[in-house]
A and B are shown apart, each in its own frame.
Chain A
Amino acid sequence: MDFGLTETQELIRTTAREFLADRSDSSVARAVANGDTDALESLWKDIVELGWPALIISEEHGGAGLSFGDFAVLLEELGASLAPTPIVESAITSRIIERFGSNDLKSDLLPKAATGDALITPAIVERDASWDATSPTVAATKTDTGLVITGEKRFVAFAEQATHALTLVRTDKGDPALVVVPISESGGIEQIPLEHVAGTPVSSVSFNELEVPEANIVATGDDAIRTTEELIATGSVARAAQLAGLGRAVMDATVEYASNREQFGQVVGSFQAIQHHLAEMAIASKQVNHLVHSAAWSFSQDGYSVERAAKAKIAASEKISALCWNAHQCHGAIGFTWEHDLHLYTRRALAWKTDYGDSSFHKSKLADAMGL
C-alpha cells in the first residue's frame, strides 16, 4: 500500500488549487445557480484550455492518457471549490466511448471532447427516477440508416451546454441500447430546464422521432446494460471524489470557524461537544477519501472493481451529507443564512449523493457483487 500522491498527482493538485482559487470562488457558483450561463461557459472554456477534459482520454485520441486515479485527485479539488462545470459528464462519457465505441465513433468524438468542441452528457434516468440500466422506455425504432428515437429522459445534467447525450434507449426488439444522440440541433428535441438543488443546469430532454445514424450506437443488448452500469459506476466514483473534496473543504472551514467563534469567554472549538462533531467529520472525511482513491485506482484499461466503486459512493453519499449537516450545527445561526457559503456546499452534497445512484442503489449493487 502507498497512500502518497505521485509526482503527476501532486502537480495536478497544485495546479488545480491555484487555478480554482483564482477563478472559481463561491461568487461563480452563486452566479451559475442564478442562471448566469456566461459565467458557466467562460469557466468551462478556461478549464478546457487547461486540458482537464482531455486528461483521461488516450493520447491516440488527443488526450493526455492519465489514469482515473489521477483524475480523482483533480475531482477532489473541483468538489472542494464548488466549481460549476460539466467535467464529470464529459470525462465519464469519453471513457465509455473510448472503451466500448466503434473506431469511427472514437476518432470522431474523442478529439472533439478533448478540445471542448464536443460535450457529451449521460442521459439515463427517466420518469421513475431510477438508475437501473435494464429498463429504459425511450423508444428507438430501427430504420435502414439507423435509429429513430422518441421519449423523455429526465435529470440530464448540462443538457443545455451539451452537444451530445449518451442515451439509454429501448430498441423495437425490446433490448436496451446505448447511443450517442446529437442534442444541440433544435429539430426533434425539446428541453425543459429544471430548478435543481445542485445550482447547475439540469434538464428533462424529450426526443420526438429524432434520427440517429447507426454508427452512433455504442452497445446493444446485454452489452448495453453492462456498459451503462459501468458508465453509472464511473460517474458515481467521480461524484464520490468530488464529495470527498467537498467534505474536506467543509471540515476545514468548520474547524476554522470553531477556532475563532467565542462564547462563554472561550472559542466554541474548546467545547468537547464541538470537538467530537469535528472529530467525526475528520474520520468520515479521511475514510471517504481512502475509499474513493481505492475505487479510482481500480479503474484501468480493462475495467474497474464493482465492489470498490459501490463502497466509495455509499460512504461518500452518506458520510459527506451527514458531515455537512454537522457543519451547520457547529456554525449555529450564521450557517443558516443565505449569505454564508455553507449551504452552497450542502446543496451540492445533496445533489451529488443521489447522482449516479444513491447509497441504497449502490448497496444493492454491492450485495450482488458480494454474492448475496
Chain B
Amino acid sequence: MRFDFTTEETDFRNQISTFLDEMLPKNWGGPAGLSDDDGWALDQRLRKELVKRGWLVMGWPKEYGGADSSPMMNTILADEMAYRRAPGLDGFGTRMLGPTLMAFGNEEQRAQHLGAIARGEVQWCQGYSEPNSGSDLASIQTSAELYGDEFVINGAKIWTSMGHRADMMFMLVRTNPDEPRHAGISLLLVDMKTPGIDVQPIVNMAGVHHFNQVIFDNVCVPKENLVGDLNDGWRVGMTILNHERSGIEFAAGARAAIEELIAYINNPDSPVHSAKSDPAVRIKLAELSTEVEAARLLCYDVTWRHGQGLEPSFEASMSKVAGTDIYQKVLEYGLEILGMYGGLEPASPQVELQGRFLKLRMLSTATTIFSGTNEIQKNIIAQRGLGLPRPPRPPGLANK
C-alpha cells in the first residue's frame, strides 16, 4: 500500500492548478451566478485549451488521439477540475461514448466520431431515460423501425442533459417490439439536426436550463449509425454507464466547499466570523472533512482498480453513494454556517459567498438521482457486491 501520489502525478496536479489559475475568471467560485450562455461559453473555451494541452482525452489510446495515460492521471484531472468547479471536461463524449465506440464501434464510426470528440469539436448528449423509464431503463419504448437503409425513430427521451447544446445524441431505442425488455434494445447515434427532432427545455429546481425533453417524430437515421449488433444495445449501452462513474467530482466538490467555508469564517470581515471560535462548528467541520476523505479514498480505489485492469462494479456504486451523500451534507452545512445569509439567492443584495451554497445545494439534489439513483446503487452493492439475493420481480420481468 501507498497513500501518496507519484512525483509525476503531483506535478500534473500542479500543472492543472496553474492552468486553471490562468483560465478561470478572477474571483471564480463556480458557475452558480453565471447565465446558461456564459457558462457554456466558458465550457467551450476551457475545452479547447484542454485539447491544446493534450488533456481532454489523455486516457485514450494514442491511435485515437489520446496519450495512453493512466486512469490515475485521468482521475487527478477530474478531481482538480471539479475542485475548482471548472467546466470543460466533456463527460458524454470523452468518458462515455468514446470508450464504447472503441469497444463496440466499427472502423467507420471510430474514424468519424473519435477524432471529433478528441478535438473537442462535438457535443454529445445521452438519450436513455424516458418519461416512463428512469431506473428501469430496460423498459424504454422509443422505437426505431428499419425501413430499407434507415431507422425511423418515434418516441420521447427526457432529462437529456445538454440536449439543447448537443450536436449528436447516443440513444437507446427499441428495435424489436416483440422483446419488451433487454433483448429488444439497440444503441443508435443520431444527429440532433435531423428533421423531426424537437428539443424542449426543462428548467430545474435551481432555475437553470440544463436538461430537456427530446421528442422524435418519424426521425430517419442511416442504418450505419447502429453501434454494435442489432438488439444488443443493452450490453453496449451499459458499458457506457460503467465508464461514467469514478465519483471523484463529488468528493472534490465537497473538499472545495469545506475549504471555502474555513477560509470564510477565518476572514475577520465575514459577518459570521464568530463561527470560527464556536466549538460545535469546529467539531462538525472536522467530522465532515473525515467523511470527505473517506469518500475520496473510495474514488481513488476505484481508479486504482481500473489501473490494475480490474473492472470496478459495485465499488463504483460505493464511491457514488458516499461521494454524493457527503457533497450534499457539506453544502447543507455551509448553509447552516451562513445562517440567515444562507437564504439569499445569488442575485440578492447583501449576499455572501455569491449565494453559491444555496444554488449548489439546490443543484446537488440531482446528484443522488442521476447516473443511477443511490437506491439503485445500494441494490447493486448489496446484490453484486455482497452476493445477497435479488428480491422477486413481477412475472414477465426477466432478471438482467
Interface residues, chain A, with chain B CB atoms under 8 Å away: 125, 127-130, 154-155, 192-198, 202, 204, 262-266, 268, 271-274, 321, 325, 328-329, 332-333, 335-340, 342-343, 346, 350-351, 354, 358, 360, 363
Number of A-B contacts (CB under 8 A): 129
> Are B343 and A350 in contact, with the CB atoms below 8 A?
yes
The contact of A333 among B159, B343, B378, by CB within 8 Å, is B159
| Interface: B186 (CB within 8 A) | no
> Closest CB-CB distance, A258 to chain B, in whole Å?
12
> Are B350 and A154 in contact, with the CB atoms below 8 A?
yes
> Are B159 and A264 in contact, with the CB atoms below 8 A?
no
> Are A265 and B342 in contact, with the CB atoms below 8 A?
no
B 194-231 binary contact with A (CB < 8 Å = 1; else 0): 00000000111101000100000000000000000000
- In the A-B complex, the 10 residue pairs with the closest CB atoms: A195-B348, A343-B205, A263-B136, A338-B203, A195-B345, A273-B375, A129-B339, A129-B340, A265-B394, A197-B343
Given A263-B136, A265-B396: A273 and B368 within 8 A (CB)? no
| Interface: B286 (CB within 8 A) | no
Contact residues, B259-296 vs A (CB, 8 A) = 271-272, 274, 280
CA distance A101 to B229 in the complex (A): 82
**B376: nearest chain-A partner, CB-CB:** A273
> Are B365 and A128 in contact, with the CB atoms below 8 A?
no
For this complex, 17 residue pairs linking A to B, each with C-beta atoms less than 8 Å apart, are A128-B274, A129-B341, A196-B343, A196-B344, A197-B343, A198-B343, A262-B132, A263-B133, A264-B394, A266-B394, A273-B379, A325-B328, A328-B369, A333-B129, A333-B134, A336-B369, A350-B343
The contact of A264 among B136, B365, B368, by CB within 8 Å, is B136
| Interface: B171 (CB within 8 A) | no
B 345-363 binary contact with A (CB < 8 Å = 1; else 0): 1011110000000100010
**A351: nearest chain-B partner, CB-CB:** B343
CA distance A196 to B342 in the complex (A): 9
The contact of A197 among B274, B345, B370, by CB within 8 Å, is B345
> Closest CB-CB distance, B279 to chain A, in whole Å?
11
List of A residues within 8 angstroms of B335 by Cβ: 350, 354
Given A354-B340, A358-B336: A329 and B205 within 8 A (CB)? no
| Interface: B17 (CB within 8 A) | no
> Closest CB-CB distance, B356 to chain A, in whole Å?
13
Question: Which of A128, A204, A336, A340 is the most central at the interface, judged by chain B CB atoms within 10 Å of its CB?
Answer: A336
CA distance A262 to B136 in the complex (A): 9
> Are A332 and B135 in contact, with the CB atoms below 8 A?
yes
> Closest CB-CB distance, A281 to chain B, in whole Å?
15
| Interface: B70 (CB within 8 A) | no
Given contacts A192-B350, A196-B344, A268-B135, 11 further A-B contacts (CB under 8 A): A128-B274, A129-B271, A129-B339, A195-B347, A265-B396, A321-B332, A332-B134, A333-B129, A336-B369, A338-B203, A350-B358
> Are A196 and B348 in contact, with the CB atoms below 8 A?
yes
CA distance A285 to B165 in the complex (A): 42
List of A residues within 8 angstroms of B378 by Cβ: 273
| Interface: B366 (CB within 8 A) | yes
> Are B365 and A328 in contact, with the CB atoms below 8 A?
yes
> Are B394 and A194 in contact, with the CB atoms below 8 A?
no
> Are B373 and A354 in contact, with the CB atoms below 8 A?
no
List of B residues within 8 angstroms of A329 by Cβ: 368-369, 373-375
> Are A204 and B349 in contact, with the CB atoms below 8 A?
yes
> Closest CB-CB distance, B321 to chain A, in whole Å?
12
| Interface: B26 (CB within 8 A) | no
List of B residues within 8 angstroms of A263 by Cβ: 133-136, 139
Given A127-B271, A154-B350, A329-B374: A354 and B345 within 8 A (CB)? no
**B138: nearest chain-A partner, CB-CB:** A264
CA distance A119 to B341 in the complex (A): 25
CA distance A260 to B172 in the complex (A): 25
CA distance A330 to B394 in the complex (A): 21
The contact of B340 among A155, A266, A337, A342, by CB within 8 Å, is A155
B 320-346 binary contact with A (CB < 8 Å = 1; else 0): 000000001000100110111111110
> Are A204 and B350 in contact, with the CB atoms below 8 A?
yes
Question: Which of A265, A329, A333, A340 is the most central at the interface, judged by chain B CB atoms within 10 Å of its CB?
Answer: A333
| Interface: B34 (CB within 8 A) | no
> Are B369 and A264 in contact, with the CB atoms below 8 A?
no
CA distance A195 to B344 in the complex (A): 6
CA distance A274 to B374 in the complex (A): 11
List of A residues within 8 angstroms of B328 by Cβ: 325
**B129: nearest chain-A partner, CB-CB:** A333
CA distance A29 to B394 in the complex (A): 41
> Are A337 and B393 in contact, with the CB atoms below 8 A?
no
Given A196-B344, A204-B349, A332-B373: A264 and B202 within 8 A (CB)? no
> Closest CB-CB distance, B352 to chain A, in whole Å?
9
**A204: nearest chain-B partner, CB-CB:** B350
> Closest CB-CB distance, A125 to chain B, in whole Å?
6
| Interface: B241 (CB within 8 A) | no
| Interface: B397 (CB within 8 A) | yes
CA distance A337 to B139 in the complex (A): 23
The contact of B343 among A332, A340, A342, A354, by CB within 8 Å, is A354
> Are A197 and B280 in contact, with the CB atoms below 8 A?
no
Question: Which of A125, A264, A272 is the most central at the interface, judged by chain B CB atoms within 10 Å of its CB?
Answer: A264
> Closest CB-CB distance, A299 to chain B, in whole Å?
25
Given A263-B135, A329-B369: A336 and B348 within 8 A (CB)? no
> Closest CB-CB distance, B209 to chain A, in whole Å?
9
> Closest CB-CB distance, A33 to chain B, in whole Å?
10
> Are A265 and B336 in contact, with the CB atoms below 8 A?
no
